[in-house]
Chain A
Amino acid sequence: METEWSGNPRGRAALVAEINISGLSFRYAGEQAFEMTLSDFKIGSGQCAAIVGPSGSGKTTLLSLVAGIQIPQQGTIQVGETRVNELGESARREFRIQKVGQVFQAFELLEYLSVIENVLLGSIISSSTTDETRIRAGELLDSVGLGHKTHSKPAKLSHGERQRVAVCRAMLNHPQLLLADEPTGNLDQSNKQNVVDLLIRQAKAHKSTLIMVTHDRSLLDSFEHVIDFGELTGARV
């Protein structure tokens, strides 16, 4: 596979290699049935990319590897100047806290925290909550129309509102990299499009690179680049 990304059916131009993966091989510990290989994979800086592919093709696993949650047995994962696979556990945590924003499939808001505390969760984990981060959290919530619900609990929010809180939480640390794992699951078409638009808008506003995993091909038109993961990887189940 070439150095520049070439698996994009709608690819228009060569991308600056911000995320660069090569010779990747990963298998979950004690799990023999699944193995993912990826010979070469690149996404340019500041781009919004969607990854599609069949279930079990390793889309979510790829996000875990890029975020440094998992470490490959072989190959390199480079995000900007950082070789994620060479970082120790503590450095990978620091990398996630400082450079990565994540939106999970079920949003994973903590029910016992208020909306603004959920947005601040990353800074709470790193014990770095300041007045500045609080103001930023408030601004992010304002920007998605939830400024009046900062002290509500997630249980009091609609599904759409919870999604917006999850996006705000991911954007708090001005992430270089925004990873979204099927954030549109279980939504109607209108809400799906709203979430995608919100993610792209936030990523563009903060100059973040966005990678969104989805199996819904109706959303792909919104992305600059679409990667069909099934064609790229050697995942076997």
Chain B
Amino acid sequence: MNGALFLGWRYLIHHRFKTAILLASITLMMFLPAATRLMVADSATALTARAEHTPLLVGAKASQLELVLNALYFHAERPPEIPNQLLDEIHQTGLAIAIPLNTRFHARGAPIVGTNLEYFTFRSLKLADGRLMGLLGECVIGANVARTQGIGIGDSIVSSPETVFDLAGVYPLKMNIVGVLEHTGSADDDAVFVDVRTTWVIQGLGHGHQDLESATAGKAVLSRTDASITANASLVQYNEITTENVREFHFHGDTSGFPLSAVIAVPADEKSGTLLRGRFQEGTVSGQLVIPSLVLADLLETVFTVQNYVILGLIMLSLATVAVITLVFLLSQQLRHGEFFTLKRMGASRSFIATLVASELGFVFLGSLLLASVLTWGVRRYATEFLLSFMTF
């Protein structure tokens, strides 16, 4: 190794603390603006990709952004509900396939997505193991849910009560896992999928209890008329749907009025999509229809504007850091005057001293560049995943 480079290297190693501070400062200076830009760009790509794959969304007339984030990423902020009837209305237009979504509930922190089997085809979701849900109370879990919770086929997962102290509220339902999805790198990895009717059971719109006409239900019958049977509090209610008790589950009321969070409308072609949008504009069909990619484009435009201000701020901060580093460096050179004088007396040239100083700066900058590159790679590797998990909860 060249003598000046060797001395520069040894100096940095000896002054580890000072070197580490310099490395950290310059690394952050390089990393933060680059990472901000890349993270926003990658996240925008990931967000847009899922939105562009979702042609139309139908929801209640409220925030379009809330509707899109909830329907695409199962974001915790729920939009107002729409009646199940809307699903039928879209079907009846014959212009699009309608896929229901009900994302109100959670199980162990993961969103429960009530939908139908068409959702899996629409999203091209494949099973890693097991089968799709076929009965009430069965569920299919995303890859991340299976991995992080250590659960799989044969296990069960219980829906979370919405409020602990609300006795009249949502009761937990024990759901049996019958399938695990392959990893997709999307919000589907973090969700628990059930039939939409299962979410209505969780909500209490449907329930199961022992047959009041059976001989064993005698003590639970409070009164009996030709038209109805009234039960007392001793009536056994089921909190798990099994093949034995599934027949006891039923819904009270008209299911067309039951709630949905949104409906994904998949038109057969562009023309059908345009016609369907026309129906909504005419008011023939209630609710609002949005194009998710346009809604997210509006959001991203705001994000990019904010990003530019953030980067500008970081550049200003970097300039201040460079000024401080330069000052510290110049002071350090003054303190090392005696060392440089000794080297000169022993035969070192001016270029040797300059190379020594430059090598110290070079090593620090190279080290910082390497660290910043590793950190940036990490951000690119995990940013999208992080953002999606943030969007889910």
- A residues bordering B, Cβ < 8 Å? 64, 67, 69, 89-90, 93-94, 96-97, 102, 104, 108, 110-113, 117, 121-127, 129, 153
How many angstroms from the CA of A123 to the CA of B348 in the assembled complex?
10
Contact in complex: A121, B346 (CB < 8 Å): yes
Extra pairs beyond A125-B3, A125-B352 (14, CB < 8 Å):
A64-B345, A89-B349, A90-B349, A96-B345, A97-B346, A97-B347, A110-B339, A110-B342, A113-B10, A117-B10, A121-B343, A122-B346, A123-B3, A124-B3
Instruction: Report B-chain residues with C-beta under 8 Å of the C-beta of A113.
Output: 7, 10
B14 at the interface (CB under 8 A from A): yes
How many angstroms from the CA of A123 to the CA of B2 in the assembled complex?
11
B338 at the interface (CB under 8 A from A): yes
Instruction: Report B-chain residues with C-beta under 8 Å of the C-beta of A89.
Output: 349
How many angstroms from the CA of A124 to the CA of B342 in the assembled complex?
13
Instruction: Report B-chain residues with C-beta under 8 Å of the C-beta of A122.
Output: 346-347
Instruction: Report A-chain residues with C-beta under 8 Å of the C-beta of B6.
Output: 124
8 contacts between A and B (CB under 8 A): A64-B345, A93-B348, A110-B339, A111-B14, A112-B13, A113-B7, A125-B347, A127-B2
Instruction: Report A-chain residues with C-beta under 8 Å of the C-beta of B344.
Output: 69
Selected from A102, A111, A112, A123, the residue in CB contact (under 8 A) with B345 is: A102
B15 at the interface (CB under 8 A from A): yes
Contact in complex: A93, B338 (CB < 8 Å): no
Instruction: Report A-chain residues with C-beta under 8 Å of the C-beta of B338.
Output: 108
Selected from A93, A110, A129, the residue in CB contact (under 8 A) with B347 is: A93
How many angstroms from the CA of A104 to the CA of B346 in the assembled complex?
10
How many angstroms from the CA of A67 to the CA of B345 in the assembled complex?
8
**List of 6 A-B pairs having minimum Cβ-Cβ separation, nearest first:** A112-B14, A97-B347, A108-B342, A124-B3, A96-B347, A127-B3
Tell me the interface secondary structure of chain B in the complex. Answer: helix
How many angstroms from the CA of A121 to the CA of B14 in the assembled complex?
16
How many angstroms from the CA of A117 to the CA of B343 in the assembled complex?
13
If A93-B349, A112-B15 touch, whether A125 touches B343 (CB-CB below 8 Å) is yes
What 0/1 pattern do residues 127 to 164 of B give for CB contact below 8 A with A?
00000000000000000000000000000000000000
Cβ of B280 to closest chain A Cβ, rounded Å: 74
How many angstroms from the CA of A169 to the CA of B7 in the assembled complex?
16
Selected from A67, A90, A97, A104, the residue in CB contact (under 8 A) with B342 is: A104
Q: Point out which of A96, A102, A110 has the most chain B C-beta atoms below 10 A from its C-beta.
A: A110
Considering only CB atoms, which chain B residue lies closest to A125 in the complex? B348
Considering only CB atoms, which chain B residue lies closest to A89 in the complex? B349
Instruction: Report A-chain residues with C-beta under 8 Å of the C-beta of B2.
Output: 127
Contact in complex: B346, A96 (CB < 8 Å): yes
Contact in complex: B11, A112 (CB < 8 Å): yes
Considering only CB atoms, which chain B residue lies closest to A112 in the complex? B14
Instruction: Report B-chain residues with C-beta under 8 Å of the C-beta of A97.
Output: 346-347
Q: Point out which of B3, B7, B338, B339 has the most chain A C-beta atoms below 10 A from its C-beta.
A: B3
Cβ of B348 to closest chain A Cβ, rounded Å: 5
What 0/1 pattern do residues 330 to 344 of B give for CB contact below 8 A with A?
000000001100111
How many angstroms from the CA of A94 to the CA of B352 in the assembled complex?
13
Cβ of A65 to closest chain B Cβ, rounded Å: 12
Considering only CB atoms, which chain A residue lies closest to B341 in the complex? A108
If A108-B338, A125-B3 touch, whether A69 touches B10 (CB-CB below 8 Å) is no
Cβ of A131 to closest chain B Cβ, rounded Å: 15
How many angstroms from the CA of A121 to the CA of B349 in the assembled complex?
14
Considering only CB atoms, which chain A residue lies closest to B2 in the complex? A127
Instruction: Report A-chain residues with C-beta under 8 Å of the C-beta of B11.
Output: 112
How many angstroms from the CA of A110 to the CA of B15 in the assembled complex?
13
Contact in complex: A104, B3 (CB < 8 Å): no
Instruction: Report B-chain residues with C-beta under 8 Å of the C-beta of A117.
Output: 10
Instruction: Report B-chain residues with C-beta under 8 Å of the C-beta of A123.
Output: 3
Considering only CB atoms, which chain A residue lies closest to B352 in the complex? A125
Instruction: Report A-chain residues with C-beta under 8 Å of the C-beta of B14.
Output: 111-112, 153
Instruction: Report B-chain residues with C-beta under 8 Å of the C-beta of A96.
Output: 345-347
How many angstroms from the CA of A126 to the CA of B2 in the assembled complex?
9
How many angstroms from the CA of A97 to the CA of B348 in the assembled complex?
9
Contact in complex: A125, B346 (CB < 8 Å): yes
Cβ of A166 to closest chain B Cβ, rounded Å: 11
Instruction: Report A-chain residues with C-beta under 8 Å of the C-beta of B346.
Output: 96-97, 102, 121-122, 125
Considering only CB atoms, which chain A residue lies closest to B348 in the complex? A125
Selected from A102, A112, A125, the residue in CB contact (under 8 A) with B10 is: A112
Considering only CB atoms, which chain A residue lies closest to B14 in the complex? A112
How many angstroms from the CA of A64 to the CA of B344 in the assembled complex?
12
Instruction: Report A-chain residues with C-beta under 8 Å of the C-beta of B342.
Output: 104, 108, 110
Selected from B7, B15, B349, the residue in CB contact (under 8 A) with A124 is: B7
Cβ of A187 to closest chain B Cβ, rounded Å: 20
What 0/1 pattern do residues 1 to 41 of B give for CB contact below 8 A with A?
01100110011011100000000000000000000000000
Instruction: Report B-chain residues with C-beta under 8 Å of the C-beta of A69.
Output: 344-345
Considering only CB atoms, which chain A residue lies closest to B13 in the complex? A112
Considering only CB atoms, which chain B residue lies closest to A90 in the complex? B349
What 0/1 pattern do residues 309 to 352 of B give for CB contact below 8 A with A?
00000000000000000000000000000110011111111001
Instruction: Report A-chain residues with C-beta under 8 Å of the C-beta of B13.
Output: 112
Q: Which of B148-197 contact A (CB under 8 A)?
A: none
Contact in complex: A94, B347 (CB < 8 Å): yes
Considering only CB atoms, which chain B residue lies closest to A98 in the complex? B347
How many angstroms from the CA of A153 to the CA of B348 in the assembled complex?
22
Cβ of A151 to closest chain B Cβ, rounded Å: 12
Considering only CB atoms, which chain B residue lies closest to A114 in the complex? B10
How many angstroms from the CA of A209 to the CA of B3 in the assembled complex?
28
Instruction: Report A-chain residues with C-beta under 8 Å of the C-beta of B347.
Output: 93-94, 96-97, 122, 125-126
Cβ of B226 to closest chain A Cβ, rounded Å: 101
Instruction: Report B-chain residues with C-beta under 8 Å of the C-beta of A94.
Output: 347
How many angstroms from the CA of A69 to the CA of B10 in the assembled complex?
26
